[in-house]
Chain A
């Protein structure tokens, strides 16, 4: 343990500790501070360069202040907050039923996981029993979402490294899954589909055929991606040995998800601390060996294959029954009941105006999102609105490893490294 933290503190100097203003001031060409006019040879002088926040390879609005020695990246500092919209503050003003609408917008590439973790936290405080069908629908949707999220990663990662064709192929396959999401939830993104107590609606007729179609087309496409990238010498040269992190460093930096697994640590909450029904399905945890950018790419590519295995098992094992809890205090009554039952009308009215009350307490629930451990720390004071909602965003925490991954590498590799961490800025800034 102590060795883990000390070894991780070794590259602690990789972090550029500079204020935002100082970084900005350095970016402005000033004759007095400009290193070019310094007495020394300009080639020797490290210089401070701003990358982003509007750089196409920064996945949105990530800004990085980098200290460069020639083409080598020395210290660096990710500067975030450009997408901060105060979602945790907003969540305190929404009822528990409205909560998923808010949190789903955090990690917009894998919205269902945000809804899932929030609902699991609420249900933990409620002590609500979730019908098996709801659990399996959640699992099916989340695994499909993991596939679409990783396909998005393959697309952007490919484009960042010059494999521009991947941008089209990745988005194209992702679209197949989003089309299925649209047929189930009504929306391509930000679904608000998983709600406290279950899911918003049952799977539509013919969903099996749609899922089977996705499962039928994808393997061939993944083979094509393999041909296009995995075995390709240029791709390997650009990714292998770039941005290496050891398991001890990753753990000390609180990194999770593919970033941690690339270092050889087989830590996947679905396997190690199962939630939903992940202990009832077969899948493998994909682990890397070298902790480099290539491993993180290969892990995500192969996790798509593992997710497909889980999805096909969901297809076979999908239980029958209600898709949300029958507890009328939590889920609104069916539309038909409202016409004939006064009590149903009252329940419906109460749920949508005041919201349901959650017993006082606090809980932390975590799920394995495509980016790592996605957690929700929820505090209730017994009222219809949460006292505090904190989302442990994997992108936010993983971003801390960036200076360590980039330290001593080339500036061109910095792009590969940022891409391989796969940060979603909506989740980083919340």
Chain B
């Protein structure tokens, strides 16, 4: 759509690996005009820092995806699809371009470094992702539940968390 994502793909040089476009040292694809980066968990903080230094000053959004039922999704070569993804949308207000960063997070160790120190505006979105997906953000200043009650068990947006399959949990009411 008119979402003028990235006219400026000039920052994608240094293509060491054959024909796979790279940006900030990680694989990069063009999804219908939107630039998407695929860093590993280890590269993720560095890529964020590089992007911030490159002018992506506003972190628009951070969310998680559970790809439990979407294992067949297409990934650029060299990127191992995992169950969870943390998706960050950045915005360069001067260059008027957007950047999306998809970080793969394995199910057996759902941890990602927090981006709060770099982008303070990701605090609430990271809490939301942690609350609804059970992904913990390392060094997050306030890793508490944000939407669900603090004593809730489970992470509702996970694909193996069924709709309406559990009784509604309420806090204990005294005298009942």
Interface residues of A (CB under 8 A from B): 1-2, 4-5, 8-9, 12, 15, 17, 19-21, 80-81, 84, 86, 88-90, 93, 120, 123-124, 127, 251-256, 265, 267, 272-276, 279, 360-366, 373, 375, 377, 379, 381, 387-388, 390, 392, 396-397, 399-400, 429-430
Contact = CB atoms under 8 A, between A and B. Distances in A.
A274 B150 contact: no
Given A254-B59, A361-B32, 9 more contacts: A1-B53, A5-B52, A15-B123, A254-B60, A364-B34, A365-B1, A377-B87, A392-B60, A392-B63
Interface stretch (B15-23, B70-78, B106-114): B70-78
A362 B93 contact: no
B73 to A, nearest CB: 7
Given A81-B146, A253-B120, A254-B119, A363 B34 contact: yes
Interface string B93-133: 10010101000000000000000011111111100100010
Contacts of B120: 5, 8-9, 12, 252-254, 400
Given A364-B98, A365-B3, A379-B70, A252 B119 contact: yes
Contacts of A381: 69-70, 72-73
The 7 closest A-B pairs by CB, nearest first: A254-B121, A392-B61, A275-B2, A81-B147, A390-B63, A84-B147, A381-B70
Given A81-B148, A123-B1, A379-B65, A366 B60 contact: yes
Interface in B111-169: 117-125, 128, 132, 141-142, 144-150, 156-157, 161, 163
A19 B61 contact: no
Contacts of B117: 9
A134 to B, nearest CB: 13
A128 B48 CA distance: 33
Contacts, number: 148
B2 A276 contact: yes
B57 A251 contact: yes
A425 to B, nearest CB: 12
Contacts of A81: 145-149
A360 B163 CA distance: 23
Nearest to B53: A1
A80 B1 contact: no
Contacts of A20: 144-145, 149-150
A387 B98 contact: no
Contacts of A17: 141-142
B32 A124 contact: yes
5 contacts: A5-B120, A127-B32, A363-B32, A366-B3, A429-B147
B82 interface: no
B121 A400 contact: yes
Given A253-B121, A254-B60, A364-B61, A388 B66 contact: yes
Given A4-B57, A20-B144, A364-B89, A397 B69 contact: no
Nearest to B152: A81
Nearest to A277: B2
Nearest to B122: A254
B147 to A, nearest CB: 4
A275 B2 CA distance: 5
A375 B157 contact: no
B31 interface: yes
A387 B122 CA distance: 23
Nearest to B54: A1
A254 B125 CA distance: 10
A84 B125 contact: no
Nearest to A130: B1
Nearest to A273: B4
A90 B73 CA distance: 22
A251 B132 CA distance: 26
A272 B93 contact: yes
Given A12-B120, A20-B150, A360 B3 contact: no
